[in-house]
Amino acid sequence: MWNPITITNQKISEKNFEKLVSGQVPAIIIKNFYSKEQCVSVVKKIEKIEKSHFSKTQLEHIGPFLMSYTTKKEEYFHKSKEFQKTISDILEDVPNPLSKVSVVISNPLPTFSISLAKQFEGNFSPFIIRIHRKGKSIPIHKDNVQYEGKDYSISDIDHQLSCVIHLQESESGGILKIYKNQWTKKDEKFRNIEFGYSSKVATKEFCRLSEISNGDLVIINPNYYHEVTKILGTTPRITLGMFLGIYNKNNKIAVWA
């Protein structure tokens, strides 16, 4: 069985971390990474920003997502700078997610430093907040900055991990499914025009992370195909995500979104 590892003490062992990176397990779930009260505080800030700035559109995310700017580097760094004030306001009453993730990662990688990714043009965006409403889903896809972000300095990492904090779950639907096969370049023939891949890339073996609660942190190797099923409940699914790029030679970890 290909099952996730669930942790309640916010400490990842070196052995379990290696299992995640190598694909022996689909995910590591850290329970109560944020408390339920902290999640409510952050969600209220998000809703306030949404109503005051995005009332005329159906907001899908707050903050720039690097892979949407693969050919628009200048615009990405400009939006990343603008986003700093917004994210500071949203997180002002809770511990910074990057700081908390740093503590978690320091256990399996004690000699590694972790910091926000940067290059000549500026700092990368640290997080992205995604809001998925009833009827929305995320198709089968992978995240691989080594292939898709070649114009950016972080494309030379050795490993990429995805960290997603679940701030608010919907009543039903919105389940993360991870398939037990990694993307390879030959799969590009199955890429959809807008986003994601045909179901032909998905293996029969997969894992459904159906026991996620508000405040849980989910860490996956995003080069394994994954998707989020359709939201069926009326409450939006809200997450805060970041990527970790691991440099083995330099013993450092770069963070971006």
- Is residue 230's pLDDT more than 50? yes
| pLDDT score of 50 | 62
- Is residue 31's pLDDT more than 60? yes
| pLDDT score of 55 | 38
| pLDDT score of 57 | 43
- Is residue 136's pLDDT more than 50? yes
- Is residue 54's pLDDT more than 60? no
Mean pLDDT of the chain: 93
In angstroms, the CA 227 to CA 61 distance is 17
- Is residue 38's pLDDT more than 80? yes
Q: Give me the mean pLDDT over the 79-108 stretch.
A: 95
Q: Which domains does the chain have, with CATH numbers?
A: 27-256 (2.60.120.620)
Portion of the chain with pLDDT greater than 70, in percent? 96
- Is residue 43's pLDDT more than 80? yes
Residues 103-123 pLDDT 10s: 999 999 999 999 999 998 899
Tell me how many degrees the CA angle 196-200-205 measures, rounded to the nearest 5: 100
Of 47-51, 172-176, 201-205, 243-247, the poorest mean pLDDT is in 47-51
CB atoms within 10 A of CB 207: 20
> Residues near 140 by Cβ (< 8 Å), separated by ≥ 6?
179, 196, 197, 198, 199, 201, 202, 225, 226, 227
pTM (predicted TM-score): 0.95
| Inter-CA distances, 240 with 97, 205, 246, Å | 9, 27, 20
Of 36-50, 157-171, 205-219, 230-244, the poorest mean pLDDT is in 36-50
Q: Give me the mean pLDDT over the 33-46 stretch.
A: 96
Portion of the chain with pLDDT greater than 90, in percent? 87
